[in-house]
Amino acid sequence: MVIVPVDADVDEAGEHGHERHERGEVLAVRHFQFEHHDRDDDGDDAITEGFEPGLAHHLCHAVQRVNGRVLWANLHFLFWLSLFPFTTNWMGENHLTPMPTAVYGFVLFMTAVAWSWYILSRTLVSMHAENSRLERAIGADRKGRISVVMYLAAIALLFWQSWIVAVVYAVVALAWLMPDHRIERIFVNEEADVMKTRIGLISDTHNLVRPEALDALRGVAHIVHAGDICKREVLDALAQLALLTVVRGNNDHADDVASLPEHTRIELNGATIHVIHDIADVPADLTGVDVVVTGHSHKPLIARRDGVLFVNPGSAGPRRFRLPVTIALLDIDGDAIDAEIVRIIE
Protein backbone atom coordinates (compact mmCIF):
# COMPACT_ATOMS: atom_id res chain seq x y z
CA MET A 1 0.00 0.00 0.00
CA VAL A 2 1.91 3.03 -1.23
CA ILE A 3 0.14 6.06 0.18
CA VAL A 4 0.64 8.74 -2.47
CA PRO A 5 -1.59 11.68 -3.38
CA VAL A 6 -1.55 12.03 -7.14
CA ASP A 7 -0.37 15.63 -6.79
CA ALA A 8 2.67 14.51 -4.77
CA ASP A 9 6.23 15.26 -5.84
CA VAL A 10 8.54 12.25 -6.15
CA ASP A 11 11.97 13.57 -5.33
CA GLU A 12 14.41 10.88 -6.39
CA ALA A 13 15.77 10.84 -9.96
CA GLY A 14 14.18 8.07 -11.95
CA GLU A 15 11.03 8.13 -9.84
CA HIS A 16 8.90 10.10 -12.31
CA GLY A 17 10.62 13.43 -11.59
CA HIS A 18 8.51 16.25 -10.23
CA GLU A 19 5.12 15.44 -11.65
CA ARG A 20 2.09 17.45 -10.62
CA HIS A 21 -1.40 16.09 -11.10
CA GLU A 22 -4.92 17.10 -10.25
CA ARG A 23 -6.15 16.72 -6.67
CA GLY A 24 -7.07 13.18 -5.67
CA GLU A 25 -5.45 10.16 -4.18
CA VAL A 26 -4.01 6.85 -5.24
CA LEU A 27 -3.62 3.74 -3.16
CA ALA A 28 -1.39 1.15 -4.78
CA VAL A 29 -2.65 -1.92 -2.98
CA ARG A 30 -1.21 -5.38 -2.58
CA HIS A 31 -4.29 -7.39 -1.53
CA PHE A 32 -5.28 -4.64 0.90
CA GLN A 33 -7.68 -2.00 -0.38
CA PHE A 34 -8.97 0.38 2.24
CA GLU A 35 -11.07 2.92 0.42
CA HIS A 36 -13.83 1.16 -1.43
CA HIS A 37 -13.64 -2.58 -0.67
CA ASP A 38 -13.96 -4.59 2.50
CA ARG A 39 -12.59 -7.79 0.99
CA ASP A 40 -9.57 -8.62 -1.14
CA ASP A 41 -9.55 -10.12 -4.63
CA ASP A 42 -9.76 -13.69 -3.30
CA GLY A 43 -12.83 -12.92 -1.24
CA ASP A 44 -11.02 -13.18 2.10
CA ASP A 45 -11.30 -10.45 4.67
CA ALA A 46 -8.40 -8.05 4.39
CA ILE A 47 -6.55 -7.80 7.69
CA THR A 48 -5.89 -4.25 8.84
CA GLU A 49 -4.67 -4.99 12.34
CA GLY A 50 -2.70 -2.05 13.71
CA PHE A 51 -3.62 0.43 10.97
CA GLU A 52 -7.07 2.00 10.89
CA PRO A 53 -8.48 2.33 7.32
CA GLY A 54 -9.83 5.85 7.79
CA LEU A 55 -6.37 7.02 8.80
CA ALA A 56 -4.98 5.82 5.46
CA HIS A 57 -7.72 7.66 3.58
CA HIS A 58 -7.04 11.00 5.29
CA LEU A 59 -3.27 10.44 5.13
CA CYS A 60 -3.56 10.59 1.33
CA HIS A 61 -4.80 14.18 1.57
CA ALA A 62 -2.18 15.29 4.09
CA VAL A 63 0.88 13.89 2.28
CA GLN A 64 2.30 16.37 -0.24
CA ARG A 65 5.69 14.82 -1.08
CA VAL A 66 7.32 11.40 -1.24
CA ASN A 67 10.82 10.22 -2.10
CA GLY A 68 12.81 7.00 -2.25
CA ARG A 69 13.12 6.75 1.54
CA VAL A 70 9.34 6.89 1.89
CA LEU A 71 8.89 4.15 -0.71
CA TRP A 72 11.41 1.88 1.03
CA ALA A 73 9.77 2.51 4.41
CA ASN A 74 6.41 1.71 2.86
CA LEU A 75 7.74 -1.56 1.40
CA HIS A 76 9.05 -2.50 4.84
CA PHE A 77 5.58 -1.82 6.29
CA LEU A 78 3.96 -3.83 3.46
CA PHE A 79 6.24 -6.81 4.06
CA TRP A 80 5.01 -7.27 7.61
CA LEU A 81 1.39 -6.76 6.54
CA SER A 82 1.81 -9.48 3.92
CA LEU A 83 2.62 -12.05 6.65
CA PHE A 84 -0.76 -11.66 8.37
CA PRO A 85 -2.68 -14.30 6.33
CA PHE A 86 -0.01 -16.95 6.97
CA THR A 87 0.45 -16.27 10.70
CA THR A 88 -3.28 -15.89 11.35
CA ASN A 89 -4.02 -19.21 9.65
CA TRP A 90 -1.16 -20.97 11.46
CA MET A 91 -2.28 -19.70 14.86
CA GLY A 92 -5.90 -20.65 14.18
CA GLU A 93 -5.05 -24.18 13.06
CA ASN A 94 -2.99 -24.75 16.23
CA HIS A 95 -5.53 -23.24 18.64
CA LEU A 96 -3.29 -20.57 20.23
CA THR A 97 -0.36 -22.87 21.01
CA PRO A 98 2.74 -20.92 22.09
CA MET A 99 4.93 -20.94 18.98
CA PRO A 100 2.34 -19.87 16.34
CA THR A 101 0.90 -17.31 18.75
CA ALA A 102 4.36 -15.91 19.45
CA VAL A 103 5.11 -15.60 15.71
CA TYR A 104 1.75 -13.89 15.17
CA GLY A 105 2.54 -11.48 18.00
CA PHE A 106 5.99 -10.77 16.55
CA VAL A 107 4.45 -9.88 13.18
CA LEU A 108 2.00 -7.56 14.96
CA PHE A 109 4.90 -6.00 16.84
CA MET A 110 7.01 -5.44 13.71
CA THR A 111 4.04 -3.98 11.81
CA ALA A 112 3.48 -1.46 14.59
CA VAL A 113 7.22 -0.64 14.62
CA ALA A 114 7.23 -0.24 10.83
CA TRP A 115 4.44 2.32 11.06
CA SER A 116 4.91 4.15 14.34
CA TRP A 117 8.48 4.19 15.59
CA TYR A 118 10.33 6.60 13.33
CA ILE A 119 10.02 4.51 10.17
CA LEU A 120 7.08 5.11 7.81
CA SER A 121 5.18 7.80 9.71
CA ARG A 122 8.31 9.72 10.73
CA THR A 123 9.82 9.41 7.26
CA LEU A 124 6.66 10.93 5.81
CA VAL A 125 6.76 13.77 8.36
CA SER A 126 10.42 14.50 7.58
CA MET A 127 9.51 15.15 3.94
CA HIS A 128 7.26 18.09 4.86
CA ALA A 129 7.77 21.54 6.27
CA GLU A 130 7.93 22.23 9.99
CA ASN A 131 4.44 22.49 11.52
CA SER A 132 2.85 20.82 8.45
CA ARG A 133 -0.67 19.48 8.78
CA LEU A 134 0.79 15.94 8.59
CA GLU A 135 3.15 16.57 11.52
CA ARG A 136 0.37 18.15 13.58
CA ALA A 137 -2.03 15.32 12.78
CA ILE A 138 0.33 12.44 13.61
CA GLY A 139 1.76 14.21 16.65
CA ALA A 140 3.41 11.85 19.13
CA ASP A 141 1.34 8.91 17.77
CA ARG A 142 0.66 7.61 21.28
CA LYS A 143 -1.69 4.90 20.08
CA GLY A 144 0.95 3.48 17.78
CA ARG A 145 3.62 3.53 20.47
CA ILE A 146 1.34 1.96 23.07
CA SER A 147 0.52 -0.79 20.56
CA VAL A 148 4.22 -1.61 20.20
CA VAL A 149 4.66 -1.89 23.96
CA MET A 150 1.52 -4.02 24.41
CA TYR A 151 2.52 -6.45 21.65
CA LEU A 152 5.98 -6.86 23.18
CA ALA A 153 4.45 -7.44 26.63
CA ALA A 154 2.06 -10.01 25.17
CA ILE A 155 4.92 -12.03 23.68
CA ALA A 156 6.72 -11.97 27.03
CA LEU A 157 3.58 -13.22 28.83
CA LEU A 158 2.83 -15.93 26.28
CA PHE A 159 4.55 -18.78 28.07
CA TRP A 160 2.92 -17.86 31.38
CA GLN A 161 -0.78 -17.35 30.62
CA SER A 162 -1.82 -17.70 26.99
CA TRP A 163 -5.32 -16.29 27.61
CA ILE A 164 -3.78 -12.96 28.66
CA VAL A 165 -2.06 -12.77 25.27
CA ALA A 166 -5.36 -13.25 23.47
CA VAL A 167 -6.88 -10.45 25.56
CA VAL A 168 -3.99 -8.09 24.76
CA TYR A 169 -4.25 -8.80 21.03
CA ALA A 170 -8.00 -8.17 21.14
CA VAL A 171 -7.65 -4.91 23.11
CA VAL A 172 -5.14 -3.47 20.64
CA ALA A 173 -7.26 -4.58 17.68
CA LEU A 174 -10.34 -2.89 19.17
CA ALA A 175 -8.36 0.30 19.78
CA TRP A 176 -7.42 0.45 16.09
CA LEU A 177 -10.93 -0.44 14.93
CA MET A 178 -12.16 2.76 16.58
CA PRO A 179 -12.13 5.60 13.99
CA ASP A 180 -8.96 7.69 14.15
CA HIS A 181 -9.83 11.33 13.55
CA ARG A 182 -6.36 12.85 13.98
CA ILE A 183 -5.87 13.97 10.38
CA GLU A 184 -9.56 14.60 9.74
CA ARG A 185 -9.66 16.91 12.76
CA ILE A 186 -6.83 19.03 11.33
CA PHE A 187 -8.69 19.45 8.03
CA VAL A 188 -11.97 20.30 9.74
CA ASN A 189 -10.28 22.89 11.95
CA GLU A 190 -8.57 24.47 8.97
CA GLU A 191 -11.81 24.64 7.00
CA ALA A 192 -13.63 26.10 9.99
CA ASP A 193 -11.04 28.84 10.34
CA VAL A 194 -12.33 31.14 7.60
CA MET A 195 -10.60 34.23 8.99
CA LYS A 196 -7.50 35.55 7.30
CA THR A 197 -4.24 34.60 9.02
CA ARG A 198 -1.80 37.48 9.51
CA ILE A 199 1.92 36.77 9.95
CA GLY A 200 4.37 39.38 11.22
CA LEU A 201 7.74 39.55 9.44
CA ILE A 202 10.74 41.29 11.00
CA SER A 203 14.47 41.28 10.38
CA ASP A 204 17.81 42.92 11.17
CA THR A 205 16.87 44.18 14.63
CA HIS A 206 20.54 44.23 15.69
CA ASN A 207 19.77 44.06 19.39
CA LEU A 208 17.19 46.85 19.25
CA VAL A 209 13.57 46.17 20.22
CA ARG A 210 11.61 49.20 19.16
CA PRO A 211 8.24 49.74 20.91
CA GLU A 212 6.87 50.79 17.52
CA ALA A 213 7.82 47.37 16.10
CA LEU A 214 6.08 45.58 18.98
CA ASP A 215 2.97 47.70 18.48
CA ALA A 216 2.88 46.95 14.75
CA LEU A 217 3.14 43.21 15.42
CA ARG A 218 0.44 42.96 18.07
CA GLY A 219 -2.40 40.65 17.10
CA VAL A 220 -0.53 38.58 14.50
CA ALA A 221 -0.86 34.79 14.61
CA HIS A 222 2.86 34.14 14.12
CA ILE A 223 6.10 36.12 13.90
CA VAL A 224 9.01 35.30 11.57
CA HIS A 225 12.42 36.87 12.26
CA ALA A 226 14.79 36.63 9.29
CA GLY A 227 18.03 37.03 11.23
CA ASP A 228 20.62 39.49 12.57
CA ILE A 229 19.13 39.37 16.05
CA CYS A 230 22.43 39.71 17.94
CA LYS A 231 21.06 39.04 21.45
CA ARG A 232 18.42 36.72 22.82
CA GLU A 233 16.49 39.51 24.52
CA VAL A 234 15.06 40.52 21.13
CA LEU A 235 13.47 37.11 20.73
CA ASP A 236 12.21 37.10 24.30
CA ALA A 237 10.32 40.34 23.64
CA LEU A 238 8.82 39.08 20.37
CA ALA A 239 7.83 35.76 21.91
CA GLN A 240 5.51 37.63 24.27
CA LEU A 241 3.36 38.56 21.26
CA ALA A 242 3.03 35.32 19.25
CA LEU A 243 4.66 32.04 18.27
CA LEU A 244 8.07 32.70 16.80
CA THR A 245 10.12 31.25 13.93
CA VAL A 246 13.72 32.49 13.70
CA VAL A 247 16.82 31.98 11.54
CA ARG A 248 20.40 33.07 12.12
CA GLY A 249 21.93 36.06 10.33
CA ASN A 250 25.55 36.82 9.50
CA ASN A 251 25.89 38.96 12.67
CA ASP A 252 24.44 36.39 15.06
CA HIS A 253 27.65 35.25 16.76
CA ALA A 254 26.61 35.43 20.43
CA ASP A 255 26.34 32.07 22.18
CA ASP A 256 22.60 32.37 22.77
CA VAL A 257 21.77 32.90 19.06
CA ALA A 258 24.69 31.27 17.21
CA SER A 259 22.99 27.86 17.35
CA LEU A 260 19.87 29.04 15.50
CA PRO A 261 19.32 27.42 12.07
CA GLU A 262 20.55 29.19 8.94
CA HIS A 263 17.26 28.47 7.21
CA THR A 264 13.93 26.81 7.94
CA ARG A 265 10.70 25.94 6.19
CA ILE A 266 7.33 26.17 7.92
CA GLU A 267 3.69 25.71 6.96
CA LEU A 268 1.15 28.24 8.19
CA ASN A 269 -2.54 28.10 7.25
CA GLY A 270 -1.73 25.95 4.24
CA ALA A 271 1.10 28.16 2.91
CA THR A 272 4.71 26.94 2.89
CA ILE A 273 7.20 29.63 3.90
CA HIS A 274 10.98 29.36 3.42
CA VAL A 275 12.98 31.63 5.73
CA ILE A 276 16.66 32.50 5.19
CA HIS A 277 18.68 35.61 6.03
CA ASP A 278 20.40 36.40 2.72
CA ILE A 279 18.49 36.23 -0.57
CA ALA A 280 21.72 35.10 -2.23
CA ASP A 281 21.46 31.83 -0.31
CA VAL A 282 17.90 30.98 -1.38
CA PRO A 283 17.95 27.48 -2.93
CA ALA A 284 17.30 27.15 -6.65
CA ASP A 285 14.65 24.49 -6.10
CA LEU A 286 11.63 26.10 -4.45
CA THR A 287 9.17 23.34 -5.32
CA GLY A 288 6.20 23.53 -2.98
CA VAL A 289 7.21 26.92 -1.54
CA ASP A 290 4.68 29.76 -1.57
CA VAL A 291 6.64 32.50 0.21
CA VAL A 292 10.34 33.25 0.73
CA VAL A 293 11.23 35.58 3.62
CA THR A 294 14.72 37.14 3.69
CA GLY A 295 16.55 40.03 5.36
CA HIS A 296 20.18 41.23 5.34
CA SER A 297 19.93 44.13 2.88
CA HIS A 298 17.83 46.38 5.18
CA LYS A 299 15.86 47.24 2.02
CA PRO A 300 12.16 46.33 2.15
CA LEU A 301 11.00 44.33 -0.85
CA ILE A 302 7.88 42.57 -2.12
CA ALA A 303 8.18 40.72 -5.43
CA ARG A 304 6.75 37.68 -7.17
CA ARG A 305 9.10 35.40 -9.07
CA ASP A 306 7.94 32.25 -10.83
CA GLY A 307 4.83 32.10 -8.70
CA VAL A 308 6.70 32.53 -5.39
CA LEU A 309 6.19 35.63 -3.23
CA PHE A 310 9.51 37.09 -2.01
CA VAL A 311 9.32 39.39 1.02
CA ASN A 312 12.11 41.31 2.74
CA PRO A 313 10.60 43.20 5.69
CA GLY A 314 13.56 45.60 5.81
CA SER A 315 15.24 46.50 9.08
CA ALA A 316 13.42 47.20 12.35
CA GLY A 317 16.71 47.93 14.12
CA PRO A 318 19.08 50.89 14.00
CA ARG A 319 18.54 52.99 10.88
CA ARG A 320 21.16 52.51 8.17
CA PHE A 321 21.87 55.62 6.11
CA ARG A 322 18.53 56.92 4.78
CA LEU A 323 16.81 53.54 4.54
CA PRO A 324 13.35 53.25 6.15
CA VAL A 325 12.72 51.42 9.43
CA THR A 326 10.10 48.79 8.62
CA ILE A 327 8.46 45.45 9.26
CA ALA A 328 6.11 43.51 6.97
CA LEU A 329 2.74 41.83 7.38
CA LEU A 330 1.88 38.68 5.45
CA ASP A 331 -1.81 37.84 4.97
CA ILE A 332 -2.82 34.27 4.10
CA ASP A 333 -6.45 33.79 3.09
CA GLY A 334 -6.93 30.43 1.40
CA ASP A 335 -5.07 30.56 -1.91
CA ALA A 336 -4.62 34.33 -1.66
CA ILE A 337 -1.29 35.41 -0.15
CA ASP A 338 -0.43 39.10 0.07
CA ALA A 339 2.16 41.19 1.89
CA GLU A 340 2.59 44.83 2.82
CA ILE A 341 5.51 46.86 4.16
CA VAL A 342 4.79 48.85 7.32
CA ARG A 343 6.99 51.86 8.08
CA ILE A 344 7.29 52.08 11.88
CA ILE A 345 9.56 55.16 12.10
CA GLU A 346 9.06 58.23 9.92
Whether 284 and 178 share a structural domain: no
**In this model, does residue 222 exceed pLDDT 90?**
yes
Whether 251 and 162 share a structural domain: no
Look at residues 127, 162, 192 and tell me which one is the last residue of a structural domain.
192
Phi and psi, residue 90, nearest 5°:
-65, -45
Name residue 166's amino acid.
A
Whether 49 and 179 share a structural domain: yes
- The predicted-structure confidence for 117-167, as pLDDT tens digits, reads as follows 557 777 777 766 666 666 666 666 677 778 778 887 888 777 777 777 778
**In this model, does residue 245 exceed pLDDT 70?**
yes
Look at residues 167, 192, 217 and tell me which one is the last residue of a structural domain.
192
pLDDT over 70, % of the chain: 70
Residue 226, pLDDT score: 97
DSSP codes, 165-211: HHHHHHHHHHHHHS---HHHHHHHHHHH--SPEEEEEE---TT---H
Whether 187 and 43 share a structural domain: yes
Whether 215 and 281 share a structural domain: yes
Mean of pLDDT over the chain: 77
Structural domain span for residue 255: 197-345
Whether 136 and 179 share a structural domain: yes
* Number of separate domains in the chain: 2
Whether 309 and 173 share a structural domain: no
- The predicted-structure confidence for 28-55, as pLDDT tens digits, reads as follows 333 333 333 333 343 333 333 444 444 5
Look at residues 169, 192, 215 and tell me which one is the last residue of a structural domain.
192
Q: Is 239 helix (H, G, I), strand (E, B) or coil?
A: helix
Whether 81 and 170 share a structural domain: yes
Report if pTM > 0.85. Answer: no
Whether 118 and 135 share a structural domain: yes
Mean pLDDT value of segment 268-290: 94
**In this model, does residue 246 exceed pLDDT 60?**
yes
